[in-house]
Amino acid sequence: MPIAALRANANATIEATITAISPVRDVTTARGPGKVADATLQDESGTITLTLWGADAGRFSVGQKIRITDGWVKDFRGKLQVSTGRSGTITVVA
Convert the pLDDT of each residue in 40-85 to its tens digit. Answer: 999 999 999 999 999 899 999 999 999 999 999 999 999 999 999 8
Assign 29 a pLDDT band (cuts: 50, 70, 90). Answer: confident
Question: DSSP 3-state assignment of 46?
Answer: strand
Domain that holds residue 50: 3-92
What DSSP string runs through 68-90? EEEEEEEEETTEEEEE-TTT-EE
Share of the chain above pLDDT 90, in %: 87
Q: In terms of DSSP bridges, do strands 65-76 and 10-21 run parallel, antiparallel, or are they unpaired?
A: antiparallel
3-state secondary structure of 45: coil
pTM above 0.85, yes or no: yes
Q: How confident is the model at residue 21 (pLDDT cuts 50, 70, 90)?
A: very high
Domains in the chain, number: 1
Query: Could you tell me the pLDDT band of residue 31, with boundaries at 50, 70 and 90?
Result: confident
In contact, 71 and 85? CB cutoff 8 Å: yes
